[in-house]
Amino acid sequence: MFYDSLPFRAVAADVLLAVENGQSLSQCLPYALSQLPPEQRPQLQAICYGTCRWFHRLDGELNQRLKKPIRKPDRVIHHLMLVALFQLRFSEQATYAVLNETVEACRALDRPHLTGLVNGVLRAAEREGAPQPSDDSSRYSHPVWMVEKLRHNWPDHWQAILDANNTQAPMTLRVNALRFSRDEYLKLLTDAGIGAKATRFAPFGIQLERPVPVDYLPWFDDGAVSVQDEAAQLCTTLMDLQPGQRVLDACAAPGGKTCAILESCAELSEVIAIDESQDRLPRVQENLDRLDLSASLLQADAADTEQWWDGQAFDRILLDVPCSATGVIRRHPDIKLLRRESDIVPLAGIQLGLLNAMWSILKPGGRLVYATCSVFPQENHRIIQRFLKQQEHAQLIPIEASWGLDMDAGRNLLPDPNSHDGFFYAVLEKPDA
């Protein structure tokens, strides 16, 4: 589709259709943004993210208002109306502009026969106001299976998790300790007129009062800071990094944790970063270059050690496994549309397989930090429990920390609207031979 010839609402509808068909926003939105005038790009991004965030509530309302579903070849118009409903319910856009321009977008999408339907549905929605949500899926705007799974796994926290997922995450920075102390960089931000405060748990973290373009951050291009959530920054506090160690960052892209490792201890013997995706490794190198850091990058399946491992065991391994990403929904609301309950069991199999593979290349006396950005126990402490039953000599190191909830086999952070994402950590050590 030629986005440069379409109104931005039509572009947003097509992007959302792509998400429904299995593409993430990070896959399909950049191209769409590149085709629009610069002044329209922030609005397009806000609409796509916002409509995904509130998709299940908006979709429930729209389905109530339609006498019958829109046929599949015209499905983009269903998403066009979702975009309009999002603007009616959650933006300050003038109502007349939303109605008129959505009808014009319907014509631009070559569906003039549906303009009457679009106009009628949206005018009724504007006149009647938003209906009361009929169930928890609509109320919290999450798929039914996710609501029920969270209710079961976190009976005391499920509503808070769902509410947190619907907030906009703060912008958090990690100060490059090789360049500045946190207090020094906070002063630079103050001098630049950027409100900020130190994070509660991450020792080099800074949370901004409001997001800003990275170009506004002092010395960003020169490697002073990186954008990284507070929960993700905690990995280096658990690794006990020491000079001379050989360190592996498995499943490393986009490289934030690789860089954090290198910043935390400048005298490491070697850092190797592996990722299965060849397309994602250049991003890791870009981050290393900006921070003036060096690591060996490998494209490989970390679990297939025969493919890439040189036989030298590692002193430290960070294993941030592929997961459901249910702890970072507030940053990636399309996860609500893309993730399926049937994904969890296969993911758990991959996670346990990776953990066993990494254990085999960990040096006696070495430490492995297991991490996910999930809030589901099946991917977190239950994986560690299964692993400990298989590896009877593995030692689980208790995490003594003021953050997260103690799960007996690791600690789980739940998403906090005013702070960190949802994350899980466990620390394992291999006894000396």
60: pLDDT confidence band, cut at 50, 70 and 90?
Answer: very high
Q: Find the radius of gyration of the CA atoms of the chain.
A: 23
What integer pLDDT is reported at residue 66 of this predicted model?
Answer: 95
Please give the pLDDT value at position 6: 86
- Cα 1 to Cα 9: distance, rounded to the nearest angstrom: 14
106 is catalytic: no
Read off the pLDDT band of 183 (50, 70, 90).
very high
Confidence of residue 220 (pLDDT cuts 50, 70, 90): very high
The per-residue pLDDT for range 140-162, each reduced to its tens digit, is 999 999 999 999 999 999 999 99
pLDDT at position 309 over 90: yes
Q: Check residue 146 and give its pLDDT.
A: 98
Residue 279, pLDDT > 90, answer no
Q: Give the CB-side neighbour count of residue 37, counting CA atoms within 13 A.
A: 6
The gap from C-alpha 293 to its chain's centroid, in whole angstroms, comes to 24
CA distances from residue 418 to 47, 49, 227 in whole angstroms, order as listed: 22, 19, 16
Interval 63-106: pLDDT, tens? 999 999 999 999 999 999 999 999 999 998 899 999 999 999 99
Predicted pLDDT of residue 5: 77
SS3 339: coil
Tens digits of residue pLDDT in 27-49: 999 999 999 889 989 999 999 99
Instruction: List, as one string, the DSSP characters of 85-151.
Output: HHHHHH----HHHHHHHHHHHHHHTT-GGGHHHHHHHHHHHHHH-PPPPSSHHHHHTS-HHHHHHHH
The pLDDT confidence band at residue 1, using thresholds 50, 70 and 90, is: low
**Would you state the pLDDT for residue 2?**
64
CA distance 276 to 353: 15
Please check the confidence at residue 57 and state whether its pLDDT lies above 60: yes
> Which residues 6+ apart lie within 8 Å of 298 measured at CB?
272, 273, 274, 275, 308
> Which residue carries 């040096």 as its tokens?
363
| Mean predicted confidence (pLDDT) in 183-201 | 98
Confidence (pTM) = 0.94
Q: Which of 251, 259, 265, 373 is catalytic?
A: 373
**pLDDT in the model for residue 156:** 97
pLDDT confidence bin for 392, thresholds 50/70/90 = confident
Per-residue pLDDT, averaged over 122-130, amounts to: 95
- Quote the pLDDT of residue 3: 73
